[in-house]
Chain A
Amino acid sequence: MSENLLYALGTLGVWLGAALAVSCLVTLIGMFLPSASSDRNGKLIRVAVLGLLAAVLLTLGGRLPAAGVTAGAGVHVPLVWVVLPFWGWTGVVAVAFALIRTIQAMMSLPEPGRNGLIKAATIWAAVGAVAIFLYTKGDEPAKVLRGGLQMSLTALVAIALLIVAGSAAMTLAGQQAKVRGWTKTVFIHSMLIAGSVVFGLPFAWLLITSFKEDRDMSSPNGLVWIPKVQQTVKYMDARDPRMQGTYDGRTVFGSIIRTQGDDVQVEIVDPGSLRGLTFDTQKAKLKEVPKDIPLVTASFDGQPIQGKVTEEFVDGRKRVEVTMPASIAGKERIYKPNEVEPVREVGLKWQNYTEALDNLPPQAMGGLVYLKNTLIIVLFSVIGTVLSSSVVAYAFARMRFPGRDTLFVVLLATMMLPGAVTLLPKFLIFRQLGWIDTLYPLWVPAFFASAFNVFLLRQFFRGIPAELEDAARIDGCSPPRTFWSVMLPLVKPALAVIAIWAFTNAWNNFMDPLVYISSPERMPLSYALQLFQGERQQNEPGMLMAFATLTMMPVLLLFFFAQRYFVEGVTLSGLGGR
Chain B
Amino acid sequence: MRLPAKITTLLSLLAIAASCLAVERKPIVIWGQALGPDSKGFEAVIREFEKRHPEYEIHALGLGAGNMNPQKLMTSIVGKVAPDAVYQDRFTISDWASRGAFQSLQDLVDRDKNQPNSPKPEQYYPSVWAEATWQGQVFGIPSGADDRVLYYNKAIFKAKAAELRAAGLDPDRPPKTWSEILAYSKVLTEKSPGGTIKIAGFLPNYGNSWLYLYTFQMDGNFLTKDGRTCTLDSPESEVALKFMKDGYDLVGGYGQSKNFESGFQGNENDPFIVGKVAMKIDGDWIINTISRYGTALDFGVAPAPVPDDRYAKKGKFATDKDTFITWLGGYCYGIPTGARNREGAWEFIKFATSTEGRVLEHTAQRESERRRGRLYVPRLSGQIETNQIILKDFVPADDRIAAALRMHVQMLPNGYIRPATFAGQRLWDEHVRATEAGCTTGDIKGSLLDSQNVVQRELDAYYRTETLPVVDLRIPAIGVGIIAICGALAIWFGFRRLRLGKLAKADSKWAYLFVSPWVIGFLVLTLGPMLASLFFSFTQYNVLSPARWVGMENYSALVGEDRQMSVKVMMNVLYLAGVGVPLSILSGLAIALLLNNAVKGMRIYRTLYYMPAIVPVVAAAVLWTWVLAADPNKGLLNAGWKATFGQWFNLAPPGWLTMPEYTKQSLVLMGVWGAGSGMLLWLAGLKGIPVQLYEASSLDGASPTRQLWSITLPQLSPVIFFNVVVGVIAAVQEFDRPYVLLGGQPSPGDSLLMPVIHLFNNAFTYFKMGYASALAWFIFLLILGLTLIQFRLSSKWVHYEADK
Closest beta carbon of chain A to B409's beta carbon, Å:
19
Kindly supply a per-residue 1/0 record for chain A positions 492-530, scoring 1 wherever the CB is within 8 Å of any chain B CB and 0 otherwise.
000000000000100110110011101110000111011
In the complex, what residue of chain B is closest to A507 when comparing beta carbons? B616
In the complex, what residue of chain B is closest to A421 when comparing beta carbons? B776
What are the residues of chain B within 8 A of A425 when measuring CB–CB?
A: 528-530, 532-533, 536
What are the residues of chain B within 8 A of A531 when measuring CB–CB?
A: 62-64
For residue B368, CB closer than 8 A to chain A, the reply is: yes
What are the residues of chain A within 8 A of B759 when measuring CB–CB?
A: 420, 423
Q: Please determine whether B688 and A574 come into contact, CB atoms closer than 8 angstroms.
A: yes
Question: Which residues of chain B (295-328) have a CB below 8 Å from chain A?
Answer: 295-296
Closest beta carbon of chain A to B41's beta carbon, Å:
9
Q: How far is the CA of A577 from the CA of B375 in the complex (A)?
A: 63
Closest beta carbon of chain B to A149's beta carbon, Å:
6
With A205-B636, A552-B615, A563-B603 already in contact, the answer to whether A402 and B520 are too (CB < 8 A) is: no
Interface size of A in residues (CB-CB distance below 8 Å): 143
Q: Please determine whether B79 and A431 come into contact, CB atoms closer than 8 angstroms.
A: yes
What are the residues of chain A within 8 A of B610 when measuring CB–CB?
A: 559, 566-567
For residue A38, CB closer than 8 A to chain B, the reply is: no
For residue B397, CB closer than 8 A to chain A, the reply is: yes
With beta carbons under 8 angstroms apart, the residue of A205, A316, A400, A539 that contacts B511 is: A400
Kindly supply a per-residue 1/0 record for chain A positions 387-402, scoring 1 wherever the CB is within 8 Å of any chain B CB and 0 otherwise.
0100110111001111
What are the residues of chain A within 8 A of B736 when measuring CB–CB?
A: 508, 510-511
In the complex, what residue of chain B is closest to A201 when comparing beta carbons? B636
Q: How far is the CA of A512 from the CA of B23 in the complex (A)?
A: 36
Q: How far is the CA of A414 from the CA of B783 in the complex (A)?
A: 13
For residue B187, CB closer than 8 A to chain A, the reply is: no
For residue B468, CB closer than 8 A to chain A, the reply is: no
What are the residues of chain B within 8 A of A535 when measuring CB–CB?
A: 34, 36, 62, 65-66
Question: Which residues of chain B (72-111) have a CB below 8 Å from chain A?
Answer: 72, 75-76, 78-81, 83
Q: Please determine whether B375 and A199 come into contact, CB atoms closer than 8 angstroms.
A: no
Q: How far is the CA of A148 from the CA of B650 in the complex (A)?
A: 9
Kindly supply a per-residue 1/0 record for chain A positions 555-574, scoring 1 wherever the CB is within 8 Å of any chain B CB and 0 otherwise.
11001100100110011011
With beta carbons under 8 angstroms apart, the residue of A404, A422, A445, A519 that contacts B29 is: A519
In the complex, what residue of chain B is closest to A564 when comparing beta carbons? B603
* B interface SS class: helix
What are the residues of chain B within 8 A of A249 when measuring CB–CB?
A: none
Q: Please determine whether A555 and B36 come into contact, CB atoms closer than 8 angstroms.
A: no
With most chain A CB atoms within 10 A of its CB, the pick from B373, B396, B603 is: B373
For residue B681, CB closer than 8 A to chain A, the reply is: yes
Closest beta carbon of chain A to B309's beta carbon, Å:
39
Q: Please determine whether B649 and A316 come into contact, CB atoms closer than 8 angstroms.
A: no
What are the residues of chain A within 8 A of B639 when measuring CB–CB?
A: 222-223
Kindly supply a per-residue 1/0 record for chain B positions 510-521, scoring 1 wherever the CB is within 8 Å of any chain A CB and 0 otherwise.
111011011111
In the complex, what residue of chain A is closest to B497 when comparing beta carbons? A402
With A147-B648, A535-B62, A559-B611 already in contact, the answer to whether A422 and B375 are too (CB < 8 A) is: no
Closest beta carbon of chain B to A463's beta carbon, Å:
15
Q: Please determine whether B43 and A534 come into contact, CB atoms closer than 8 angstroms.
A: no
Q: Please determine whether B631 and A437 come into contact, CB atoms closer than 8 angstroms.
A: no
For residue A363, CB closer than 8 A to chain B, the reply is: yes
Q: Please determine whether B776 and A423 come into contact, CB atoms closer than 8 angstroms.
A: yes
Q: Please determine whether A402 and B368 come into contact, CB atoms closer than 8 angstroms.
A: no
What are the residues of chain A within 8 A of B66 when measuring CB–CB?
A: 534-535, 538
Closest beta carbon of chain B to A385's beta carbon, Å:
11
Q: Please determine whether A411 and B518 come into contact, CB atoms closer than 8 angstroms.
A: yes
Kindly supply a per-residue 1/0 record for chain B positions 582-620, scoring 1 wherever the CB is within 8 Å of any chain A CB and 0 otherwise.
000000000100110101000101111111101111110
Q: Please determine whether B295 and A337 come into contact, CB atoms closer than 8 angstroms.
A: yes
Closest beta carbon of chain A to B630's beta carbon, Å:
11
For residue B794, CB closer than 8 A to chain A, the reply is: no
Q: Please determine whether B529 and A454 come into contact, CB atoms closer than 8 angstroms.
A: no
In the complex, what residue of chain B is closest to A340 when comparing beta carbons? B373
Q: How far is the CA of A148 from the CA of B648 in the complex (A)?
A: 5
With beta carbons under 8 angstroms apart, the residue of B684, B763, B779 that contacts A424 is: B763
The stretch that binds A, out of B120-128, B224-232, B621-629, is: B621-629
What are the residues of chain A within 8 A of B702 when measuring CB–CB?
A: none
Closest beta carbon of chain B to A532's beta carbon, Å:
9
Q: Please determine whether B522 and A414 come into contact, CB atoms closer than 8 angstroms.
A: yes
Q: Please determine whether A68 and B650 come into contact, CB atoms closer than 8 angstroms.
A: yes
Q: Please determine whether A518 and B618 come into contact, CB atoms closer than 8 angstroms.
A: no
Q: Please determine whether B543 and A428 come into contact, CB atoms closer than 8 angstroms.
A: yes
In the complex, what residue of chain A is closest to B31 when comparing beta carbons? A518
What are the residues of chain B within 8 A of A483 when measuring CB–CB?
A: 514
With A189-B599, A218-B631, A403-B491 already in contact, the answer to whether A316 and B373 are too (CB < 8 A) is: yes
Kindly supply a per-residue 1/0 record for chain B positions 763-797, scoring 1 wherever the CB is within 8 Å of any chain A CB and 0 otherwise.
11000010011011101100110010000000000
With A218-B634, A559-B610 already in contact, the answer to whether A518 and B81 are too (CB < 8 A) is: yes
What are the residues of chain A within 8 A of B721 when measuring CB–CB?
A: 577
What are the residues of chain A within 8 A of B631 when measuring CB–CB?
A: 218
For residue A429, CB closer than 8 A to chain B, the reply is: yes
Kindly supply a per-residue 1/0 record for chain A positions 416-459, scoring 1 wherever the CB is within 8 Å of any chain B CB and 0 otherwise.
11111111111111010010110000000101110100100000
For residue A209, CB closer than 8 A to chain B, the reply is: yes
What are the residues of chain B within 8 A of A71 when measuring CB–CB?
A: none
Closest beta carbon of chain A to B614's beta carbon, Å:
5
Q: Please determine whether B618 and A510 come into contact, CB atoms closer than 8 angstroms.
A: yes
For residue B374, CB closer than 8 A to chain A, the reply is: yes
Q: How far is the CA of A544 from the CA of B626 in the complex (A)?
A: 10
Q: How far is the CA of A192 from the CA of B647 in the complex (A)?
A: 28
What are the residues of chain B within 8 A of A404 when measuring CB–CB?
A: 511
Q: Please determine whether B371 and A312 come into contact, CB atoms closer than 8 angstroms.
A: yes
What are the residues of chain A within 8 A of B719 when measuring CB–CB?
A: 576-577
For residue A130, CB closer than 8 A to chain B, the reply is: no
What are the residues of chain A within 8 A of B599 when measuring CB–CB?
A: 185, 188-189, 192
Q: Please determine whether A508 and B780 come into contact, CB atoms closer than 8 angstroms.
A: no
What are the residues of chain A within 8 A of B367 when measuring CB–CB?
A: 314
What are the residues of chain B within 8 A of A417 when measuring CB–CB?
A: 526, 530, 780
In the complex, what residue of chain A is closest to B59 when comparing beta carbons? A363
Kindly supply a per-residue 1/0 record for chain A positions 182-217, scoring 1 wherever the CB is within 8 Å of any chain B CB and 0 otherwise.
000100110110011001111101100100000001
What are the residues of chain B within 8 A of A449 when measuring CB–CB?
A: 517-518, 521
Kindly supply a per-residue 1/0 record for chain B positions 626-652, scoring 1 wherever the CB is within 8 Å of any chain A CB and 0 otherwise.
110001111010010010010111110
What are the residues of chain B within 8 A of A436 when measuring CB–CB?
A: 75-76, 79-81
Question: Which residues of chain A (18-42) have a CB below 8 Å from chain B?
Answer: none
Q: Please determine whether B43 and A447 come into contact, CB atoms closer than 8 angstroms.
A: no
For residue A234, CB closer than 8 A to chain B, the reply is: no
With A449-B521, A577-B718 already in contact, the answer to whether A420 and B37 are too (CB < 8 A) is: no
Q: Please determine whether A202 and B614 come into contact, CB atoms closer than 8 angstroms.
A: no
Q: Please determine whether A576 and B685 come into contact, CB atoms closer than 8 angstroms.
A: yes
For residue A333, CB closer than 8 A to chain B, the reply is: no
What are the residues of chain B within 8 A of A400 when measuring CB–CB?
A: 504, 507-508, 511
For residue A533, CB closer than 8 A to chain B, the reply is: yes
Q: Please determine whether B529 and A315 come into contact, CB atoms closer than 8 angstroms.
A: no
For residue B16, CB closer than 8 A to chain A, the reply is: no
Q: Please determine whether B607 and A563 come into contact, CB atoms closer than 8 angstroms.
A: yes
For residue B444, CB closer than 8 A to chain A, the reply is: no
Q: Please determine whether B636 and A202 come into contact, CB atoms closer than 8 angstroms.
A: yes
For residue A219, CB closer than 8 A to chain B, the reply is: yes
Q: Please determine whether B783 and A418 come into contact, CB atoms closer than 8 angstroms.
A: yes
With A361-B35, A567-B606 already in contact, the answer to whether A206 and B533 are too (CB < 8 A) is: no
With A312-B373, A535-B65, A540-B36 already in contact, the answer to whether A199 and B676 are too (CB < 8 A) is: yes
Closest beta carbon of chain A to B658's beta carbon, Å:
14
For residue A276, CB closer than 8 A to chain B, the reply is: yes
Closest beta carbon of chain A to B802's beta carbon, Å:
9
- The 10 A-B pairs at the shortest CB distance, nearest first, are namely A448-B521, A436-B79, A147-B649, A425-B529, A395-B514, A316-B375, A534-B65, A576-B688, A401-B511, A422-B529
Sample (11) of A-B pairs whose CB atoms are under 8 Å apart: A79-B649, A388-B517, A395-B515, A402-B495, A417-B526, A417-B780, A508-B618, A518-B76, A545-B623, A570-B681, A571-B687
Q: A392-B517, A395-B511 are in contact. List 16 more A-B contacts (CB 8 A).
A: A201-B636, A277-B47, A312-B371, A396-B515, A399-B507, A402-B508, A418-B783, A425-B530, A429-B529, A518-B79, A530-B744, A535-B34, A548-B622, A555-B615, A556-B614, A576-B718
